[in-house]
Structure 1
């Protein structure tokens, strides 16, 4: 039997934020078994630890339908479980993922693990052809005039690619009626995992919704990897206030699904642009259980 747990990431309230499966003892599971367990759990992503040693943990991420290269909220969930289980006490720790090595930092409050920070890959971005704007708007169920002209619309990644679509306000964001088939097709054409709609709510603060049918997730509740890419994109284009060499912001996501969460992001800038992206958040344990691979037990 394989032990697993479900963790709510980017929140300290179980059932809010974004749920992730966490499997610490996956070193003997085959790829097919990992996929079967991810499908059994049915949460947006499940992270499997395939090797654990001093200072480094090797992981793989699966949605209910396929393997993906990286997942922000599952990384935060894993960090919390490693800390709660005594596997990590705040020393330097690196996750070995399909997108490379991801350093983690543990933040405690009154001696209790409270927040996990991950340093994501550097920002990559590419423009979206202007004629595609209309198709993106229609796929989201809105008129093209609802797109915010003062914020960047582009494809970007700090681990996974999304196309970021700015909207004029949160009323438009909350009222979206996405056509998931069209979003799936656009995601393939633009070579991204999701269409990420966002709107400003204050200085350095944004609300967002993320539609990812291309990887088997109709709407992702709270998306850490995309929040990091969004803030890096905004900072790189001078759309966030900078103090020293740092720009900080918060993304609020999950309200449309009744599972609100918050993603904190810190972007470090140099004269050449974005240097580092750190994404942080809290997490709360939902439940624990055991799973028996098919053909066993």
Structure 2
């Protein structure tokens, strides 16, 4: 019997000089008991390469206890790994969990297409369950609607203590599934800092959320606050104890942002 090849361990979307982001194990093959191999990997997320050619990859993604379906972080780690193992075009298709998502290599980082983001204003709303000061409120959607709220400054953002029931109540009142809090600026020259919450999605806070960052990019586009030169934006996601750094590429639009791609660096941390 041939021994299974050990996975390559990657840290995805971590800020510079930080061990934040997400740890992902990348397996070069998809043979045997994938769930058992994922459980033995010792990290929250494992991705298995089923097939690869120059224009596309097919992946399966697992947590230690179940198959996840799709994962942007898993795809970014797999693409970074495969880029060192075989020839990939700068634009490829990633198939995972029954979905096909375009990916592109930009400035040494892989980005995944999140699609067009639409933004709408929020009618009068009681935000007292959140217990924080608010500067602006919008709903943004890139396949899933999120409530996007600007807070006073980085201190207020980082001091926010999430309450699952309060966030869920505000999401239900607005017909949204998640909450994004943000403020301009951030560490390491980030243009915006944010946190992402989703009790109705099954988690309290996500440390690195591509889709929710895309929604924030749409809100900034609707407000006319996106960069007009490089069409790129750096975001610092500030989950306490697990910071992340995401990159977005976009086309500004009057009611949001079009053709939004989100990703970031994936660094190999084991042989």
State the distance in 1 between where 2:224 and 2:97 align.
30
Q: Is the 8 A contact 1:25 1:50 kept in 2?
A: yes
Distance, in Å, in 2 between the alignment partners of 1:160 and 1:3 is 36
Structure 1 counterpart of 2:246? 263
Aligned to 2:180: 196
Correspondences of 1:51-62 after superposition (within 5 Å): 51-62=51-62
TM (norm. structure 1) is 0.71
Do the aligned partners of residues 148 and 17 (structure 1) sit closer, same or farther apart at CA in structure 2, a change above 3 Å counting? same
Q: Would you say the 8 A contact 2:138–2:219 is kept in 1?
A: no
Name the structure 1 match of 2:111: 117
Cα deviations across residues 64-99 of structure 1 (Å, max 9, x unaligned)? 676656433333222211112x13444431112458
Counterpart of 1:37 in structure 2 is 38
Match of 1:147 in 2: 134
1:205: which partner in 2?
Answer: 191
Q: Which of 64-73 and 160-169 deviates more?
A: 64-73
What is the aligned counterpart of 2:22 among 18, 21, 27?
Answer: 18
**Offset at residue 174 of structure 1 (A):** 0.7
SS of equivalent to 1:26 = coil
Q: Give the Cα separation in 2 of the matches to 1:55 and 1:107.
A: 16
- Supply the distance in 1 between the matched residues of 2:144 and 2:66 (Cα, whole angstroms): 14
Q: Contact 1:204–1:241 at 8 Å: present in 2 too?
A: no
Aligned length: 265
SS at match of 2:185: strand
Separation (CA, whole Å) in 1 of partners of 2:165 and 2:5? 35
Q: 1:74 to 1:242 in 2, by over 3 A?
A: same
1:283 counterpart (255, 266, 270)? 266
Residues 216, 125 of structure 1: alpha-carbon distance in 2 compared, 3 angstrom cutoff: same
Match of 1:239 in 2: 225
Report SS of the residue matched to 2:161. coil
Indicate conservation of the 8 Å contact 1:39/1:65, yes or no. no
Contact in 2 for aligned 1:249/1:265 (Cα 8 Å): yes
Cα drift, residue 252 of structure 1: 0.6
Which consecutive unaligned segments of at least 5 residues does structure 2 have? none
Residue 272 of structure 1 deviates from its aligned partner by 8.0
Task: List alignment gaps of at least 5 residues for structure 1.
Answer: 109-113, 289-297
Query: Larger RCO: Structure 1 or Structure 2 (Cα < 8 Å, ≥ 6 residues apart)?
Result: 1
Corresponding residue number in structure 1 for 2:7: 4
Q: Secondary structure at the match of 1:228?
A: helix
